[in-house]
Amino acid sequence: MTNINFKNLSFNFDDQSILKNINTEFKEGKIHLLTGISGSGKSTILKLIAGLLPKYGGKIVTGTVDIPTGAQVGIVFQDPLMQFALDTPRHELEFTLENCQVPTQQIPARINRALNFGNVQPLANRLISTLSGGQQQRVALAVTMAMQPDILLLDEPFANVDEENRQFILKQLRQINNDYHTTIIMTDHDLHGYQQLQPLVWHLTNGCLSQLSVKDSAHLLQKGINQKLTTSLPTSDLPAIINFDHLSIKRGNQNLLLPTDLAFIKNKTTLVTGPNGIGKSTLFKAIARLLKYKGTITYERANIQKLSPGKYYRHLGLVFQHANDQFLNVTVGEELALALKTSQNPYFNHQQVQSALKLLGLTGREEQIVYSLSGGQKKKLQILLMLMRGQDILLLDEPFTGLDPGSLKNVLQLIKDAQTKKPQTLLIISHQLNGLDGFIDFHLKMNQQHLKYVGGSYES
Amino acid sequence: MNPSLKLFLVIFLSLELTFITKLWVNLIVIIICLIILMHYRFHWRQFCWLVFVPLFPALAIFITIVLFSPGHSLFDGTVLFSRLYVYVCLGTVFTFTTNTLTLARSLEQNCHLPSKYAYGVLAALNLIPKMKQAVTTIYTAGHMRGVNLHWWSPTLYFKAILVAIQWSDQLAQAMESHGFVEGQARTITVKIPITTRDWVYFSSILILIQIIVIALP
């Protein structure tokens, strides 16, 4: 085996330069961590190594990418939902192993080992479409590991994964790197927990890739360590906007939430956390009237089932976990025009929208097709559009995935600015808690079919 | 029964009955199909759909033949009416009693269909529940952005097509990233055999139908 070589590589997407004259060698058997702001081209590098680009879009202008001949390359994408061809994790694993020409009698053992790797044994026969985002990501990782890759490419593998599983998988990655000498190249914005892997850290900026010095790397990884979060408990004299009255939710035969009474405080920001698959997104869907539940949910004391959807959604918006779901038009410009037309927040006029675009680094992209934006750019545009719509309540489901610390700060700033003209109640699901201290008023934990506010100062 | 063999049988019977104008044969096939479906615990709601969906085209053909054809033949009309139900019943029995993954595996192993088609179709079938979800999501997304989409709104279809185009590309990437290479040999997890019993079933059903065709008026 030899190293992965980028020789004077330049890569374009629709005449837009993404990578410029990259000369780099990723050493075999090492763990490499790619950092850089959203949209800097991290995913592009991974897909080039995997051979998916330029086959599925874009163009190599100059140079070459050399990967060791005969090396098995495994890749896990940013968006886990779209990397399965079959219905259940077990079938997907069988399909993958058949593709890799694993002899029939070895397949069951390989499947078990892969399921153990991702800690997903109980999910093996569930329909993938019913798994939560974090569970899908772990299944995707398990499937890739079943291929026993020589080179493992992970694109923000922990974006929707809870802390416990994150630590578990990090440990697993160190293990396979040790045991099988697997080359691992991964991208991430949230760097906590990476110290134990002792990765070589790379920084991608303006299309140029450089390796950080040992000292800089150590500094950067140190910064990623968990921050403290300080929240208070809501008191009963605060006005509520959403109330649960004996709310219980089921997924199939499984209870996600046992009958609960709860209030969400008006014009405050509430963070909702909990392990993968515990039902956080499902809870949001119930509040947004997108699925059936038992008990009552009221908005400003009115039963939400008695409001017409048109009226209810004027007051309540959901920032979907998948940014693509939010878009209705083709180009960034058209999306912004629609958002301006239907805006309910007077803060956003032409000028403010322009400065918001500048803040988010989206200036000059009006003509670009929304779906061709990078993962992080889509998230930023999506949040901007929903802020412009300006409902009284905004539910945000993992809004910060794919955002680098700088972008996150800017997004939080934008949210605060938008609220100066029209206060909003925000409910946020997020696994990434770094940088959120001071932004959150209340913290609601979901676990074992219960919801509970937590308060005080604690390690996030 | 082996899925490929079953598929061949269903297609063959449909073709054969296309060229035969015998009412009794049609009725017997329909009744046998219904018995099989009941045996597999067909839900009465699904049964209603089975009756309702082909009703209008079947009636249209019936009326055309009986009222407007030169012979005004009630018999021909009834035959064509029942024939449509024969097709639908045979198709329903097939889909209801066959697992799609097993079918794909059988087509790949028994019929040597290129795996590109077998798994391509299977992957597309697995997208159907996602498609349903996607349409609901588009409606909601519209409402939340202040755009009321109706079933006749072009935006709805435009967006649905965009989603589908994107999926096709992502699906291809997903299959490729999971080691699928067009034309490359694959191993098998579950062998789908064609047993002697399959052949016995196949030939006895075939012979039985021929006897009915010949014996009945």
Question: What is the residue-level pLDDT of chain A in tens, covering all 460 positions?
Answer: 579 999 999 999 877 788 999 999 999 999 999 998 777 889 999 999 999 988 988 899 999 999 998 889 999 988 777 789 899 999 999 999 999 999 999 999 999 999 999 999 999 999 998 888 889 989 999 999 999 999 999 998 887 788 888 898 899 999 999 999 999 999 988 888 898 899 999 999 888 999 999 898 888 888 766 667 889 999 889 999 999 999 999 887 778 999 999 999 999 999 999 887 788 999 999 999 998 999 999 999 999 999 998 899 999 999 998 898 899 988 999 999 999 999 999 999 999 999 999 999 999 999 998 988 888 899 999 999 999 999 999 999 999 888 888 899 999 999 999 999 999 999 999 888 888 888 999 999 998 899 999 988 877 5
A83 CB within 8 Å of a chain B CB: yes
Phi, psi dihedrals of residue B175, rounded to the nearest 5° = -65, -40
Q: How far apart are CA A86 and CA B122, in angstroms?
A: 7
Beta-carbon contacts of residue A68 (< 8 Å; ≥ 6 apart): A1, A2, A3, A4, A28, A150, A151
Q: How far apart are CA A119 and CA B119, in angstroms?
A: 27
In this complex, do A104 and B188 lie within 8 Å of one another by their Cβ atoms? yes
From residue B8, alpha-carbon distances to A88, B15, B111, B163, B208 in Å are 28, 11, 11, 34, 16
Question: End-to-end alpha-carbon separation of chain A, Å?
Answer: 41
The residue in chain B having the minimum alpha-carbon distance to the alpha carbon of residue A395 is B144
In this complex, do B140 and A313 lie within 8 Å of one another by their Cβ atoms? yes
Produce one character per residue of B5-31: b if its CB has 16 or more CB atoms within 10 Å, e if not: bbbebbeebeeebeeeebbebbbbbbe
A389 CB within 8 Å of a chain B CB: yes
Instruction: Identify the pLDDT of residue A460.
Output: 57
In this complex, do A99 and B179 lie within 8 Å of one another by their Cβ atoms? yes
The residue in chain B having the minimum alpha-carbon distance to the alpha carbon of residue A324 is B163
**Residues A82 and A16: beta-carbon distance below 8 Å:** no
Among A residues 327-356, those touching chain B with beta carbons less than 8 Å apart: 327-328, 330, 338-339, 341-342, 344
CATH architecture observed for domain A4-223: 3-Layer(aba) Sandwich (3.40)
Q: How far apart are CA B135 and CA A146, in angstroms?
A: 34
Instruction: Identify the pLDDT of residue A455.
Output: 87
User: Structure pTM?
Assistant: 0.83
- The CATH number that domain A228-459 falls under is 3.40.50.300
Torsion sign, CA atoms A214, A215, A220, A226: positive
Indicate the domain borders of chain A: 4-223, 228-459
Bridge-partner residues for A444, per DSSP? A272, A453
Instruction: Identify the pLDDT of residue A372.
Output: 85
Instruction: Identify the pLDDT of residue A226.
Output: 60
Helices (H) and strands (E) in chain A, counts: 12, 21
Q: Who among B141, B171, B190 is closest to A328 (CB)?
A: B141
Instruction: Identify the pLDDT of residue A401.
Output: 83
A385 CB within 8 Å of a chain B CB: yes
The residue in chain B having the minimum alpha-carbon distance to the alpha carbon of residue A109 is B189
Instruction: Identify the pLDDT of residue B65.
Output: 92
In this complex, do A98 and B188 lie within 8 Å of one another by their Cβ atoms? yes
**Residues A28 and A68: beta-carbon distance below 8 Å:** yes
Does this chain's domain A4-223 share its CATH topology with A228-459?
A: yes
- Convert the pLDDT of each residue in B71-112 to its tens digit: 888 999 999 999 999 999 999 999 999 999 999 999 999 999
Q: Who among A92, A147, A389 is closest to B146 (CB)?
A: A389
Question: Which token pair is A367?
Answer: 């003509």
Banded pLDDT at B62 (limits 50, 70, 90) = very high
From residue A362, alpha-carbon distances to A14, B50, B116, B118 in Å are 17, 52, 40, 42
How are beta strands A151-155 and A183-187 bridged, if at all?
parallel
Instruction: Identify the pLDDT of residue A7.
Output: 93
Residue A456 Ramachandran class (φ > 0 left, ψ -120 to 50 alpha, else beta): left
Is 60 exceeded by the pLDDT of residue B3?
yes
In this complex, do A86 and B123 lie within 8 Å of one another by their Cβ atoms? yes
Mean pLDDT over the full length of chain B: 91
Instruction: Identify the pLDDT of residue A32.
Output: 95
> A-B interface: how many C-beta pairs under 8 angstroms?
134
Mind spelling out the 3-state secondary structure of chain B?
CCHHHHHHHHHHHHHHHHCCCCHHHHHHHHHHHHHHHHHCCCCHHHHHHHHHCCHHHHHHHHHHHHHHCCCCCHHHHHHHHHHHHHHHHHHHHHHHHCCHHHHHHHHHHHCCCCHHHHHHHHHHHHCHHHHHHHHHHHHHHHHHCCCCCCCCCHHHHHHHHHHHHHHHHHHHHHHHHCCCCCCCCCCCCCCCCCCHHHHHHHHHHHHHHHHHHHHCC
Q: Which amino acid is at B185?
A: A
The residue in chain B having the minimum alpha-carbon distance to the alpha carbon of residue A76 is B177
Active site residues of A: 156
- Convert the pLDDT of each residue in B104-151 to its tens digit: 999 999 999 999 899 888 888 888 888 888 888 898 999 999 998 888
